[in-house]
Amino acid sequence: VIINNTGTVKVKVTSELVNTNDDIFFNYLQLKDSSSPWKKIDEFTTNVTTKKTVYIRLDLSELDMNLEYNVLGHTNDIKFLAMAA
C-alpha cells in the first residue's frame, strides 16, 4: 500500500480492521514500513511526510488452531487513519 501525503504537514497514520471480530485477520495480519519491524494491525503506526510504502502480510506460522473452514476468499477491510503528527 502506498500512502501519499499531498499536504504540507507531517501525518501520523494508524490502521484498524473494519470487522474487529475477525480472529484470523485481527491476530495474524501484520504491517510494516521500511523503517519498522512487523507489527499486528492494531499496533501499527507510522509518520508520513511525503510518501511511504506499507507492506502487509498474513503470517499464519504461529496459528495454534485448526481452521474449521476454507479461508480462501475470506476478506476484511483495513481502515487507515491519518492525523497531524
What was the pLDDT predicted at 1? 94
Contact assessment for residue 12 and residue 45, using Cβ atoms and an 8 Å cutoff: yes
What was the pLDDT predicted at 69? 67
Whether the full predicted model's pTM is greater than 0.75, yes or no, is: yes
- What is the tens place of the pLDDT at every residue in 6-62? 999 999 999 999 998 888 899 899 999 998 999 999 999 999 999 999 999 999 888
DSSP states along 12-78: EEEEEESSTT-HHHHHHEEEEETTS--EEGGG-EEEESSEEEEEEEE--TT--S--SS--TT----E
More confident residue, 65 or 25: 25
Q: Taking the CA of residue 40 as centre, how many other CA atoms within 13 Å lie in the half-sphere pointing to its CB?
A: 11
Cα→Cα distances 21→5, 17, 26, Å:
30, 9, 8
What was the pLDDT predicted at 63? 82
More confident residue, 66 or 16: 16
